[in-house]
Structure 1
Amino acid sequence: MSEAIAAYFEEHRASNDLGRRALRGGIISIVIQYGNAALQIVAAIVLARLLAPEDFGLVAIVTVLTSFAPLLIDFGLLDATAQRSRVTPGQVSALFWVSTGLGVAVAMIVAASSPLIAWIYDDQRLQPIALSVAVTFVLSGLTNQHMALLRRTMQFGRIGQIQLFGTLAGTVVAIAAAVAGYGYWALVLRPVVSSVCIVAAAWSACAWRPGAPVFDDEVKSMVRFGLHVVGFTVAYTLSRAVDRIALGLFYRPDQVGYYQNAMNLYDNSVSAALSQTHAVGSAALSKLQSNPAALREKYAAALSILAFFMMPAAAILSVTAEDLTVVLLGQKWQASGALLSILALRGISHVVEGSQGWLHLSLGRADRWQTWGIISLVAQVIAVLAGLPFGTVGVAWAVVIGYSLIALPSVLYAGRPIDIGVALVARAAGPQTIGAITTAAAGWWLQTALLATYSPILRMILSGCFCGCVYLAVVVGLFRHGEPLRIAGTIIQDVIRKR
C-alpha cells in the first residue's frame, strides 16, 4: 500500500493542533461552499429569467419526493467511515459495494414508481422527470466512500473543490438547455451532469480504489451505525420536505415554485454553510471520543464561533430578502422574496439545531440521532398541517416556529451522555442569539420606517451595514463576546501564510 493511500486508514488520534486544523478546514470549506452557493445563485438568476415558475414547481415536486433517496444510498456509511477510529481497505471496499448496490436498487424503485407519481399529481410530465432523476442515484453510490476517506483525512478543501466542479458543469449545461428552449428539462439535466462530474473528480482526488470486500464484525458494526444514521437523515429530510409535499398536493405548481426558489436561496446562503460545518465538526470531534471533557470544551468553542458569524447572516438575509430576490431573480419572483424573509429566520436556531449531529456522531450514538430524527419529523408534520390552510406564508411561518422550538432540546438530548446542559449552550450561543433577534427586529424597523422609498440595492446596502453595527453593538459591546473575531482572524492569517 502506498504512503498516500495508507494515510486514509491511519487511526484517529487527538493532536495539539486539532482545533486549529478543524477551524482552518471549516473556514476553507465555508469559503468554497459560498463560492458554490454564489454559482448556484447565478444559475438561479439566469434560469429564473429563462423559465417559468411552473417549470420549477414540476421539478421540485419530483426532487422533494425523492430527496430521501441519496440518504438511503449513503446509508450513513460515509459518516461511519469518517467517524471510526480504525478502518481497513477491505472494510471500506465492503461499504463501497453496499453503497453501489443500494444506488442501483433505489434507482430502480424510483423508476418503477414514476407512473404512480404522475398519477398522484395528475401530470404526466412528472414520469419522465422521475426517470431521469433516478440516474443520479446510481452515480451517487460510486462516490460516497471516496468522499468519506477525504473527510477522514480532513481534506475539506478538496471536497469543496469537487462539489464546486460538479455545480459549475451542471450549471453550464442547464443554462445552455434553457436558452435552447428545453424548458423544465434544463432543471432536470443539471443534477445529472453534476453527478457525472462529481464521480470523475472524486475518483481522481482519492487514490484509493475498491477491491475485494471484507464483511467482518467491524463492517457489520459500521453498517448498524450507518443504519441509525440513515434513519435520522431520512426522517429529517422528510421533515424538511413535508412542506413542499403538502403544498404540491393542495396548491398550484407555481405556488410550489415560489416556495421552492425561496428555499433554494436559503439553502445556498445559510443551510449550505451549516452542512459543511457538520462534516468538519463531526470529523474533528470524533478524534476526541475517548476524552469527554475535551470533546465538551471543543464543542462549545466551535458552536460559539459558528453562531457568532452565521446567526447575524441569517438575520440580515431576512431583512434584505425581498429586495435581494427581486434584484437577483426579477420582479416576477417577488412572492419568493416574501417567503425567504420568513424562512431566513430559521437560520438563527438552525445553527444550534444543526450542531446536534456533531455530538451524536462523535460519541458513536447514531441510534439516539435516529430517535431525534423521528421526533423532528413528527414536530414538522404537525407544524405544516397547522400552517397549510394559510397558504405558502402560513407554511413558511410554521416551519420556522417548529424548528425553533426543538433547537435547544435537540442539543440537550444529543449532549446528555457527556453532560451538556442549558448553561453550556447558553454560554456558547446565548449572546449571539439575542444579538441576531435584535438585529432582525431593528433591521425590519429601519426598512419600514426610514428606507421604504429607497431603491432596492441602496436599501440592501444600508440595511446590511445597519444590521451589522447593531449585532456587534449587542454581542461585542453589551455582552463583551469578541473572542470569535480574534480566533477567526488568527486562522485566516494562518491560511493566508500557508497559501
Structure 2
Amino acid sequence: MSVLRDDDILFSHVNENRSAAAVTGAFWSALSTFIPTVFTFAVFVVTSRVLQPQDFGLVALSFSIVSFAGSFGPTAFGEAIIQRAEIRRSHLDTIFLLSLVFSFFIYGALCIAASPIAEYVGHGEIRYLIYIMGLKVFFDFTTIVPNAIVNRKMSFHLVAVRTVIATITSAGICLVLVLAGFGLWALAIAQIAATAASCGASFWGAGWSPGLHLKRASLNDLLHYGFFASGTRFLQTMSLDNLIIGVLLSPSALGMYNFSKRLFDMINNVIAGGLTSVTHVLLSSLRSDPKKVREAFLMATFGCSLVSYPVFIGLAAVADDLIPTVFGGHWIEAVWPVRFYCVIGLMAGIGYVQASLIKSQGEMDWWFYYQLARNILTLLSIAILYPYGVTTIVFAIMVQVLLFWPITSWKVSRHIDLSIVAYLMQFLRPSMASAGMVSVVLLLHEALIHWSTYPRLAVEILAGAIAYGCLIFILCRPRLNLLMGIIKQARQRKNNKGASVSTVAHRS
C-alpha cells in the first residue's frame, strides 16, 4: 500500500482522449447552464412581474457592494490551479487557507461599512441586504479549490450536478418567498441559498478535504498567474457600473440597467458560459501543440457564433413586443438597452473563447491589462453620461465593445497563426443566415401586425428559427459534418471504453 506524501502529484492534466473529453464536457457544461437558466429565467419572469424596478435596483446595488468587496479576494487562484501542469497537496491547502482568511476579513469589512453605506444612499434596506448577501463571500471563497479540482479533472458532469442543485434550491426558495409577499428579501435570501448549495456540491464532487500542508513555495508557484487572474476577475466582478448608476441616478434607473444586463447575462451564459470552462481546460492541456490549439479554438468559435448570432439578433428584432409582453409594461424603457446588449452579445460569447485561448497560453497579464483599459473606459463613460440616462450609457458601452474588438482579434490571430481576415471569415456564414432570419421575422411582423401579441410572437420566433436552420444547413454543411463527426467519435470511444470495462468485469 503506497502512502501519499505532500510532494506527490495529485492531479495532472487529462492526456488521453482530450477531444472526446472536451465534446462530452461541452455537452455537460451546456446542460449545466441551460437547465439552471431555464429555472432562473422562470424566476426572473415571475419576480419581474411582481416586483418593481426599484426593488431590483436595491438588490442589485447591495449585490454590487458585496461583489466589489469580494473581488479583492484571491477568487481566480482556481484558474492558476487549472493552468499549472502539476498540482500537489500543498498547493491546494495553501490556496484554501488563503481564501478562508480573506473571506473573514472581507465579510467583517462589509458589516462595518453597511450602516454608513445605507445612510449615504438613503435606503435603510441596504444595511440588512448587505448583512445577508455578504455571506456569499464565505461560500464563494471556500469553493475556489474544489471547483478548480473538478474542472481540472474535466469532470464536467459533476459541475452540471452542482449547478443544477444550486439553481433548483435558489429558484424554489425565491418563488415561495416572493409569492408569500417577502418582496426584495426573497431575491437576497435565494442567492445565499444558491451559493451554499453550490458550495456543498463542489466539495462532494471534488472528493477533497482541506488539510494543513502549507508551503510558501507552493503559493509562489501560483502567485504570478493567480495574481493577474484575480486582477482580471476583480475587473469583471467589481460591479462599479452598478454602484455608480445606483448612487448617481436612482435605484429605479439601476433596476432598468440591471434588468437589461441580467437578461443579456442569462442568454450569454447559456450560449458560452459552459463552453468557457471546457475551452480553458482543453486549450491549457493542448498548449504544447499549436496545430491542435488552432483547430480546437476555431471549432469552439464556430460553435459559439452558430448559436449566439441568431439568438441575439432575433431578440433585438422582437424586443419591442417581447419585453412588455413577457415581463410587464413597467419594463418598456428597457427595450433599447436590451437591443444594445444584443449587439454586445454578438461579440461577448466569442470573447469568452478568445479569453480562454489567451489565458491558456500563459498571457494572463496581457488579458488583465486589456480588461483594465476596458473597465476604465466603461466607468468614465458612465460617470460622464449618467445625466443622459441608462439608454445612453448602454449605447456608449456597446460602442466601446465594438472599438475594442479588433484588438483581441489581432491577438488571437497571432496565437493561432492565422490572418485576421481568415479569422473573421469564421463569422460570415452565421451572419448571413442571421440576416435572412431577421428578414423573415420583419416581413411576418408587418404581415401579422393586426394579430394579438402572443400568437404573432410565436409565429415570428418559430418561422425565424426554421429560416435560420435551413440557411445554416446550406451555408455551413461541411463544417457541421465535421462537428458531427467529432461528436460521433466521442460517443464511439465512450461506448468502447464501457464495453472494455464490462468485459474485464465479466472475466474477473
Match of 1:75, SS state, is coil
Map of 2:282 onto structure 1: 284
Cross-structure match for 2:105 = 105
Kindly report which structure 2 residues correspond to 1:267-278, keeping only aligned pairs within 5 A, or say none: 267-278=265-276
Q: Contact 1:22–1:280 (CA<8 Å) still a contact in 2?
A: yes
Aligned-pair CA distance for 1:343: 1.6
Is this contact kept in 1: 2:11–2:88, CA < 8 A? no
Q: Given that residues 276 and 353 in structure 2 are in contact (C-alpha distance below 8 angstroms), is that contact kept between their aligned partners in structure 1?
A: yes
Give me the whole-angstrom Cα distance separating, in 1, the residues matched to 2:261 and 2:37.
13
Match of residue 170 from structure 1:
170
Match of 1:483 among 441, 459, 479: 479
Moved more, 130-139 or 459-468: 459-468
The answer on 1:245 being equivalent to 2:243 is yes
| Change in 2 beyond 3 A, CA 1:252/1:444 | farther
Structure 2: distance between partners of 1:216 and 1:353: 35
Structure 1 residue 279, shift from structure 2 partner: 0.7
Per the alignment, residue 364 of structure 2 pairs with 366
Shift of 1:418: 5.3
Cα separation, partners in 2 of 1:307 and 1:374, compared to 1, 3 Å: same
Runs of 5+ consecutive residues of structure 1 not aligned to the other structure: none
Deviations 1:41-94 (A, max 9, x none): 111122223322221111111212333444443431111111111101221111
- In the alignment, structure 1 residue 455 sits paired with structure 2 residue 452: yes
Shift of 1:347: 1.2
Shift in alpha-carbon separation, 1:181–1:405, aligned structure 2, 3 A: same
CA distance in 2, matches of 1:471, 1:176: 39
Structure 2 Cα separation of the partners of residues 401 and 447 of structure 1 = 30
The residue identity in structure 2 corresponding to 1:484 is L
Instruction: Report if the CA contact (8 A) 1:242-1:380 is conserved.
Output: no
Alpha carbons of 1:445 and 1:180: their partners in 2 closer, same or farther (altered >3 Å)?
closer
Structure 1 pair 462/485, CA: closer, same or farther in 2 (3 Å)?
farther
Q: Does 1:442 align with 2:443?
A: no
Change in Cα spacing, 1:274 to 1:116, as seen in structure 2 (3 Å) is: farther
Superposition deviation, residue 348 in structure 1 = 0.8
Partner deviation per Cα, 1:97-130 (whole Å, 9 max, x = no partner): 1112222222222222223322332222211111
Structure 1 counterpart of 2:464: 467
User: 1:424 deviation in Å?
Assistant: 4.3
More displaced 10-residue stretch of structure 1: 108-117 or 77-86? 108-117
Match of 1:90 in 2: 90
Contact 2:75 2:141 in 1 (8 A): no
User: Cα distance 1:476–1:402, how it changes in 2: closer, same or farther (>3 A)?
Assistant: farther
Q: What's the CA shift for 1:487?
A: 1.5
Does the alignment pair 1:236 with 2:233?
A: no
Q: 8 Å contact 1:104–1:138 — kept in the other structure?
A: yes
SS of equivalent to 1:10: strand
Question: TM-score, normalising length from structure 1?
Answer: 0.89
Q: Secondary structure at the match of 1:9?
A: strand
Amino acid at match of 1:458: P
Change (3 A) 1:421 1:355: farther
CA contact (8 A) 1:318 1:344 kept: yes
Q: Is the 8 A contact 2:80 2:225 kept in 1?
A: yes
Deviation at 1:13, TM superposition (A): 5.2
Residues in 2 aligned to 1:455 and 1:77: alpha-carbon distance in whole angstroms: 52
What is the CA-CA distance between 1:148 and the residue it aligns to? 0.7
Change (3 A) 1:217 1:176: same
Matches within 5 A, 1:138-149: 138-149=138-149
AA paired with 2:479?
E
> Of residues 397, 400, 403 in structure 2, which corresponds to 1:399?
397
| CA displacement, residues 405-452 of structure 1 (integer Å, 9 cap, x when unaligned) | 22231242355455454134213334324544x257536633653343
The Cα of 1:164 is off from its aligned counterpart by 1.6
Distance 1:158 1:403 in 2: 34
Partner of residue 378 from structure 1, selected from 355, 376, 392:
376
Alpha-carbon distance in structure 2 between the residues aligned to 1:93 and 1:257: 40
| Range moving further from structure 2, 209-218 or 190-199 | 209-218
Q: TM-score with structure 2 length normalisation?
A: 0.87
What CA distance in whole angstroms lies between the structure 2 residues aligned with 1:139 and 1:286? 27
Residue identity in the other structure for 1:422: I
Contact residue 150 and residue 156 of structure 1 kept, 8 A? yes
RMSD between aligned alpha carbons?
3.0
Return the alpha-carbon distance in structure 1 between the equivalents of residues 348 and 378 of structure 2: 14
Distance across 1 between alignment mates of 2:317 and 2:57: 26
Q: Bigger radius of gyration, 1 or 2? A: 2
Mean Cα deviation higher: 49-58 or 185-194: 49-58
Q: 1:350, CA displacement in angstroms?
A: 1.1
**Does the C-alpha gap of structure 1 residues 129 and 10 become closer, same or farther in structure 2, counting only changes over 3 Å?**
closer
- CA-to-aligned-CA distance 1:369-393 (integer Å, 9 cap, x gap): 1111112113323444565343222
Name the CA shift for 1:96/1:186 in 2 (closer, same or farther; >3 Å). Answer: same
CA distance in 1: counterparts of 2:243 and 2:417, whole angstroms: 38
- Letter of the aligned partner of 1:180 in structure 2? A
1-side partners of 2:342 and 2:153: how far apart?
A: 33
Q: How far does the alpha carbon of each residue in 1:298-322 deviate from its partner, in whole angstroms, 9 at most, with x for none? A: 2112111221122212212222334
Q: CA deviation at 1:365?
A: 1.7
Q: Which moved more, 1:412-421 or 1:157-166?
A: 412-421
Partners in 2 of 1:377 and 1:349 — Cα distance?
16
Match in the other structure for 2:62:
62
Identity, % of aligned positions: 18
- Determine if contact 2:304/2:350 at 8 Å carries over to the other structure: no
> Counterpart of 2:207?
207
State the distance in 1 between where 2:405 and 2:260 align: 22
Could you say which residue in structure 1 is the equivalent of 2:180? 180
* CA–CA distance in structure 2, aligned partners of residues 144 and 265 of structure 1: 26
Q: Which residue of 2 aligns with 1:10?
A: 11
Deviations 1:204-261 (A, max 9, x none): 22211111233253431312211101111222334xx454333323333223222222
Partner of 2:345: 347
CA distance in 1, matches of 2:75, 2:192: 21
Alpha-carbon distance in structure 2 between the residues aligned to 1:396 and 1:441: 23
Letter of the aligned partner of 1:127 in structure 2?
Answer: R
Change (3 A) 1:493 1:365: closer
Q: Give the letter aligned to residue 445 of structure 1.
A: L
CA distance in 2, matches of 1:443, 1:127: 50
Look up the match of 2:388: 390
Distance 1:259 1:493 in 2: 45
Question: Per the alignment, in what secondary structure is the counterpart of residue 87 of structure 2?
Answer: coil
Q: Unmatched 5+ residue regions in structure 2? A: 499-508
